[in-house]
Structure 1
Amino acid sequence: MRYLFVVVVISLLGWPVCAQQPDLLSGKFSPEKLKTVLIPQAQWTPFPKRDDRAGWAKADAAMMNAYLKKAESYLNYEWPYIPATKSLLIERTGDRDQYQAVSFQKREVLGTLLLAEIYENKGRFVDPIIDGVWSICEESFWGVPAHLPKSKAYAGLMDVSQPFVDLFAAETATYLAWVDYYLGDKLDAVSPQIRKRIYTETNNRIFQPLMTKPHGWMTKTANGRAPNNWNPWICSNWLNAVLLLEKDDDKRAANVARLLDVLDEFLNPYPQDGGCDEGPSYWGAAAASLYDNIAMLNLASNDAFAYVYADEKFRNMGRFIYRAQISDRYFLNFADADPQPGMAATMIYRYGKAINDPDMMRFGAYYRKPEDGTIGKFHYFRNFYALFMQDEFQKAAQGLPLPKDVWLPDLQVFVARDQAGTTDGFYVAAKGGHNDESHNHNDVGNYVVYYNGQPLLIDVGRGTYTAKTFSGKRYEIWYNCSDYHNLPTINGKTQPPGPQFKAAQVAHKAGGAFTQFDVDIAQAYPKDAGVTHWQRSVRLNRGKNVQVTDVISLEKADALTQHLMTCYPAEVQKPGKLLIHYQPAGTPAKDFVVTYNPAQLQASVEKVKLETPEDKGIITKWGDTIYRINLKAVSPKKSDKLMLSVAAE
């Protein structure tokens, strides 16, 4: 049966991997051939139909009971209308959460009700589902106001005459498509207008715009930045919806062919090392969404796309998630990434199994947890895969790889820890790159230090998204700027945004007793900073300390300040010695010493005030405990060598 969780043939046979070729996805089948490869819509059963009770008997009972219990609390759910003034908040106050909270909950309720009706199959949830479908179809925009074009022509409200597809319009199509797939006969028994409305709205809002209009997320930007997670994430929902809803197999195949072209725009420029410049929290919608597309294509084509699992870039894209892990709770969070992202356990396990990576499978299994009826806000279709794999998944071995050294030469990120397979001791990571990465922070040369899997010197990451976050005012937000990273301010200048502000002379050395990352960050600063060279070395001396050495050459030396960010109080004990009072929740307090040359640098500590709407997310992630250490040059020199080390007291 096609919906059972199985290892693809390519993994079973251990076929050799290969380097990724351009147009890996769109180059395999011509549009004409693709139509013969895809299972016709009328014959396609990716998962058991609702009336296939023998098929649904194989679904995990604990999960289904949890969905049923949650759905019963929604039987009298009043489907809310979203007033125009909620949409206008994005322009009036910058708030995006009030609108999104209502919109996202409606879809989550609909998805939960559908799973409950599939399980119980008594019609008890059909009317609430119909109300949900109708309410969502009545919305002016399936997306969110934060994604509307920033122009007076919109001013916070959707132009319904010009539909376009954002992340959550595509997500909405997936919910409606699965309702149609599972409950089509029950909906028709009430009125044929319900399914007609589902297709008409989805065709007008999703299929037609995607087939006829360019969307910015489909390809690189004007300045050459490659597509980010929007590309595969939207495509995964486009794919679900068109495979399920489009009865015209010619149109269906044409949509899939177009979708494969779009996906290759994401995959072709992706680094060969698999590094995700958006970070682990966005990996779940970037590389993972690419996997979602391939998995669904295989369900729709008798594994015609299984060859992708042998591609080395695709495999590296999967492995990134455990290569970027610090500890069970913390992950490397350069740019807008979250330091403690949730892990989609079953999806990660499936991805690992598809590419025949036992470490990734154990990693995914590590994050399994008891079912509570929560379907998640996004990637709804992942729930159906999860339902039919629990016998295997619950018995799967668990473990965290925690590699000793990771080097991603394309992304220019290095990771090193004291010991492989354990969080004991120091962990250090640093980056090169450039300042036009996806979800960019101006952070070329930034590094982080953790100890025993807990933060010590941190990347603050992102706060709450507001209208300001993705606007021309992005770099007015303090945590996006280099002077609130572990970086220098040089002659009063910080790093600007732009692809030309980048790392140079990047190198990596790994030995048994140490690992070192070298990068020249001079080009990351503007010309008027007067930087000829700023050669930074970040070195882990295993079992001992972390050393940061900056060898500098300047055209002028008016002022220099090294910045360090931490989530613990810090104090200058004496010139040349600064203490960070490390005390993660539930662990004994321990002081760490930052040593530096007091003849060169003078230290001070300031607590960062968290008081803006954007700062709410910082408080959620770290608490009101962000401190900036400033090491100011006493007598700046044009040529100098600045050193500091971090060690336990």
Structure 2
Amino acid sequence: MNPVEDSIHEVENENINQRGTENRIWSSLSADRLLEKLSRPELAILYTDLKAYGERALKEPMPSLSFRLYRQFSDTGERKAYEEAYFDRRGRLAAVTMLALDLSRPNAMQVLEDMLWDICGEYTWCLTAHLGTGEVDQVDGNIDLFAAETVHMLAEVVTIHAERLDRLVIERIRFEAERRIFTPLYRDQRKFHWQTADHNWSAVCGGCCGMAALLLLEDEPTLRESICQTVRCMDAFLSGYGEDGGCAEGIGYWVYGFGYFTYYAEMLREYSKGELDLLTGSKITAIAAFPLRVHLSGGTYVNYSDSAEKEEIPSGLLSLLASRVGLQVDLPLHIPLFTEDPCHRWAHLLRNVMWSDPKMYGDEGASSQAERGFIFQNLGWMIAKGSLDSPDTKRTNGGPLHVAISVKGGHNDEPHNHNDLGQFIIHCGGENILCDPGAGLYTQAYFAPDREQLLHISSSGHNVPLIEGQEQSSGRQAQAHVLEAKLAEGGGELNTTLDLTSAYSGAASLARYTRQFHWKMASGGSRNGAELHLIDHFHWKSRMVSSAERFSSVDDSDAGCSSVVERWMSRVQPEVVMSGNLRWQGVHGTVHMTYDANQWQVLTEAIDTVDHDNVPVTFYRTSLSWTGAIDETEVRTERPNPLETVCEVRFIIEPKMGETEVSMRE
């Protein structure tokens, strides 16, 4: 049995009645202890941020979740306005909960009671995007991520302030928790899709409802059912991870899913006096290490799927994992501000306050040799990291300039999938210069059929080619086959070859497509840089095209069978240094790309879009269009592979040069 199955076995054979009621309340969840934690110097900035938000909440009425906002998603597919009001309500409740710890603020407790009463009266705790058309039968008994987060938050708030809250408010919270969550889930045992999901939903929904049950449920049979159900949810969640600990959903959803897994696991361990411990085993240790392995430098991460480059890892979560599984945190301590989280998640806030421990943090670059690069064998991600000497005196942190590359394999039916097989990132000095677009704005269309037409999801928004006018196809059958993946000790050299043929099922004349990466850090002498040598081989079937069937436009879907367009995405606008040489000038580093200008024509276009938070962003997509052609004359020659197109480019990554050095180089 794995640890989760062992835990289920223990729960089912344990007489929970003998535990007594003294363990029901999470022992660390007390008002006095929270107030003491908030007075620590490392939390001063967080507390100032929290108080400012809370002071506004004390003076202003709660934003309304009006019928007009409720209907907006089913009518137009837009969800932003409703969610902004929804999350602001949760944020105000969280901030005022903390302010009410101060006994010199009697008005805070009065406002807190009104807020709790107001949230108990919401038509639904679910987001409208998870309710279909929002009819009554879709609301009744429905439990989504945010209904689960809400019941968990209310359970912990009422636990913290149990001695001061009005009895009617406490009874109302228990009543609503029973009606909306415990009865459909544990008593009626309705089946929800997330109970067997192998991604964040099982951990978040199961864990939040499970924590609320540990704090609020009083009858032992229902509590026992809750524990058994929740542990099975956690088992389903872990099934989505391989033994390498890689999260296909990306770092943002690692925080979400594994964060709530950890939060439930720790409460269950404390509740059971250590008898039920889900945070054990090599797989858990590998999952816990994921954020450090995909951290490139300066708080910037590998951000495949729907993740952001800059991700706030909850300091409490990392501190707890460092303590429990021996995680080496090679990052400086940063406690996220409450207002930095647009969802204002209570679970992260509370545990950042309770668990953040400066002693668990180190310095960037102080990781073990194994973390200088990593190959996720199950996930199909390859990462190599290194450092360069930097003459840039404007850098504030001093020390070496960190550089890295990441390559993505996998398949095109992953959770929060993007069609991005063969995608890669070039990183330098805290910046992904050749980048991944990450998550787009969540709308109805983002999760609807034909979603792969959207830039953030389509291969057109990634560093992968267009072949015969065809983008990558969706589905499990589109898979990157790893032919080679070798990482030298210390991460200084990475060699990877992927067969990506199945990703382009729409390219009728494509016989085989392979992509090779050769990454190497400069060593010795006066060299101070890193190099990525990328070689794409496109093998064609026997059908020939004449030299007149040349590819003429990056948007020409009727191009000849051997038409290829390579594409590179960046937030930095590239400059043409000379024919066959482009340059992306980052904040602290420079990426040069050299290519055969006789065979490839370059074009850069600006693409305006919005990110996940609806903030405008411009990407610069640089395309290399193949201008050669295969004809019958070439086939009759002694050329070894007449039915092959090869794109060979070199990326040189160097520290940023001063203006004098640039002019001398040019």
Partner SS, residue 266 of structure 2: helix
> Is the counterpart of residue 348 in structure 1 residue 318 in structure 2?
yes
Alignment TM-score, normalising by the size of structure 1: 0.84
Residues 460, 618 of structure 1: 8 Å contact kept: no
**1:413 corresponds to which of 357, 381, 386:** 381
Which whole-Å CA distance do the structure 2 matches of 1:41 and 1:473 have between them? 53
Question: What does residue 626 of structure 2 align with?
Answer: 632
Which whole-Å CA distance do the structure 2 matches of 1:332 and 1:602 have between them? 30
**2:514 corresponds to which of 513, 517, 535:** 535
Alpha-carbon offset, residue 168 of structure 1: 0.8
Once the two structures are superposed, residues 90-137 of structure 1 have per-residue CA deviations (whole angstroms, 9 ceiling, x without a partner) of 133332111111111111211222222233276432221221112111
Which whole-Å CA distance do the structure 2 matches of 1:618 and 1:554 have between them? 42
> Is the counterpart of residue 581 in structure 1 residue 584 in structure 2?
yes
Q: Amino acid of the residue matched to residue 253 of structure 2?
A: Y
1:139-538 matches, cutoff 5 A: 139-149=122-132, 155-156=133-134, 159=137, 162-188=140-166, 192-211=167-186, 212-220=189-197, 227-306=198-277, 308-357=278-327, 359-360=328-329, 362-363=330-331, 365-368=332-335, 377-389=343-355, 392-393=357-358, 397-401=362-366, 403-419=371-387, 424=401, 426-511=403-488, 514-526=493-505, 528-538=507-517
Structure-2 change in CA distance of 1:80 and 1:384 (3 Å): closer
Which whole-Å CA distance do the structure 2 matches of 1:287 and 1:174 have between them? 16
Which whole-Å CA distance do the structure 2 matches of 1:242 and 1:532 have between them? 56
Which whole-Å CA distance do the structure 2 matches of 1:574 and 1:373 have between them? 46
Which whole-Å CA distance do the structure 2 matches of 1:37 and 1:203 have between them? 24
Per mean C-alpha deviation after superposition, the further-off stretch among 56-65 and 336-345 is 56-65
> Is the counterpart of residue 560 in structure 1 residue 564 in structure 2?
yes
Which whole-Å CA distance do the structure 1 matches of 2:607 and 2:341 have between them? 37
Structure-2 change in CA distance of 1:468 and 1:566 (3 Å): same
Which whole-Å CA distance do the structure 1 matches of 2:484 and 2:586 have between them? 34
Which whole-Å CA distance do the structure 2 matches of 1:37 and 1:534 have between them? 63
Alpha-carbon offset, residue 602 of structure 1: 2.0
Alpha-carbon offset, residue 182 of structure 1: 2.7
Which whole-Å CA distance do the structure 2 matches of 1:301 and 1:37 have between them? 11
Once the two structures are superposed, residues 511-549 of structure 1 have per-residue CA deviations (whole angstroms, 9 ceiling, x without a partner) of 365211111001122154443321211111212411111
Q: Amino acid of the residue matched to residue 25 of structure 2?
A: W
- Taking CA–CA contacts closer than 8 Å with sequence separation of 6 or more, which of the two structures ends up with the larger relative contact order? 1
1:25-40 matches, cutoff 5 A: 26-33=7-14, 35=16, 40=21
Per mean C-alpha deviation after superposition, the further-off stretch among 469-478 and 315-324 is 469-478
Residues 131, 138 of structure 2: 8 Å contact kept: no
Alpha-carbon offset, residue 581 of structure 1: 3.4
Identity %: 21
Per mean C-alpha deviation after superposition, the further-off stretch among 273-282 and 538-547 is 538-547
Once the two structures are superposed, residues 2-58 of structure 1 have per-residue CA deviations (whole angstroms, 9 ceiling, x without a partner) of xxxxxxxxxxxxxxxxxx8374465441424162586636753422544xx5x5674
Structure-2 change in CA distance of 1:49 and 1:551 (3 Å): closer
> Can you give the 5+ residue segments of structure 1 that lack an aligned partner in the other structure?
1-19, 150-154, 221-226
Structure-2 change in CA distance of 1:334 and 1:383 (3 Å): closer
Per mean C-alpha deviation after superposition, the further-off stretch among 85-94 and 345-354 is 85-94
Residues 40, 249 of structure 1: 8 Å contact kept: no
Which whole-Å CA distance do the structure 1 matches of 2:613 and 2:79 have between them? 17
Q: Amino acid of the residue matched to residue 297 of structure 1?
A: L
Alpha-carbon offset, residue 388 of structure 1: 4.1
Residues 76, 128 of structure 1: 8 Å contact kept: no
**2:536 corresponds to which of 535, 550, 568:** 550
Which whole-Å CA distance do the structure 2 matches of 1:28 and 1:380 have between them? 31
Alignment TM-score, normalising by the size of structure 2: 0.82
Residues 491, 559 of structure 1: 8 Å contact kept: yes
Question: What does residue 552 of structure 2 align with?
Answer: none
Structure-2 change in CA distance of 1:297 and 1:645 (3 Å): same
Per mean C-alpha deviation after superposition, the further-off stretch among 84-93 and 527-536 is 527-536
Which whole-Å CA distance do the structure 2 matches of 1:530 and 1:482 have between them? 19
Partner SS, residue 629 of structure 1: strand
Once the two structures are superposed, residues 269-320 of structure 1 have per-residue CA deviations (whole angstroms, 9 ceiling, x without a partner) of 42110001111122111222221121111121112233x4341110110100
Q: Amino acid of the residue matched to residue 630 of structure 1?
A: L
> Is the counterpart of residue 100 in structure 1 residue 83 in structure 2?
yes
Residues 25, 263 of structure 1: 8 Å contact kept: no
> Can you give the 5+ residue segments of structure 2 that lack an aligned partner in the other structure?
390-398, 523-529, 544-560, 631-641, 654-664
Question: What does residue 4 of structure 1 align with?
Answer: none
Residues 459, 471 of structure 2: 8 Å contact kept: yes
Q: Amino acid of the residue matched to residue 644 of structure 1?
A: V
Partner SS, residue 321 of structure 2: helix
Once the two structures are superposed, residues 549-593 of structure 1 have per-residue CA deviations (whole angstroms, 9 ceiling, x without a partner) of 122322253411111112222244554x13133132xx4xx6533
Which whole-Å CA distance do the structure 1 matches of 2:423 and 2:20 have between them? 49
Partner SS, residue 159 of structure 2: helix
Residues 153, 346 of structure 2: 8 Å contact kept: yes
Once the two structures are superposed, residues 425-460 of structure 1 have per-residue CA deviations (whole angstroms, 9 ceiling, x without a partner) of 641110110000111000111111122332221111
Partner SS, residue 124 of structure 2: coil
Alpha-carbon offset, residue 209 of structure 1: 2.8
Which whole-Å CA distance do the structure 2 matches of 1:232 and 1:246 have between them? 20
Question: What does residue 17 of structure 1 align with?
Answer: none
Q: Amino acid of the residue matched to residue 406 of structure 1?
A: F
CA RMSD, Structure 1 to Structure 2 (Å): 2.9
Which whole-Å CA distance do the structure 1 matches of 2:251 and 2:302 have between them? 7
Which whole-Å CA distance do the structure 1 matches of 2:362 and 2:402 have between them? 25
Partner SS, residue 651 of structure 2: strand
Which whole-Å CA distance do the structure 1 matches of 2:613 and 2:593 have between them? 24
Residues 533, 650 of structure 2: 8 Å contact kept: yes
Structure-2 change in CA distance of 1:407 and 1:158 (3 Å): farther
Once the two structures are superposed, residues 321-369 of structure 1 have per-residue CA deviations (whole angstroms, 9 ceiling, x without a partner) of 0100111131101111111111211211111211012x22x43x53236
Q: Amino acid of the residue matched to residue 414 of structure 1?
A: M
Which whole-Å CA distance do the structure 1 matches of 2:504 and 2:163 have between them? 63
Partner SS, residue 75 of structure 1: helix
Alpha-carbon offset, residue 397 of structure 1: 4.0
Structure-2 change in CA distance of 1:82 and 1:601 (3 Å): same
Which whole-Å CA distance do the structure 2 matches of 1:206 and 1:346 have between them? 27
Which whole-Å CA distance do the structure 2 matches of 1:353 and 1:214 have between them? 36
Once the two structures are superposed, residues 56-104 of structure 1 have per-residue CA deviations (whole angstroms, 9 ceiling, x without a partner) of 6743315596455653432233123311110222133332111111111
Q: Amino acid of the residue matched to residue 454 of structure 2?
A: I
Which whole-Å CA distance do the structure 2 matches of 1:38 and 1:431 have between them? 48
Partner SS, residue 609 of structure 1: strand
Alpha-carbon offset, residue 609 of structure 1: 3.5
Which whole-Å CA distance do the structure 1 matches of 2:51 and 2:246 have between them? 39
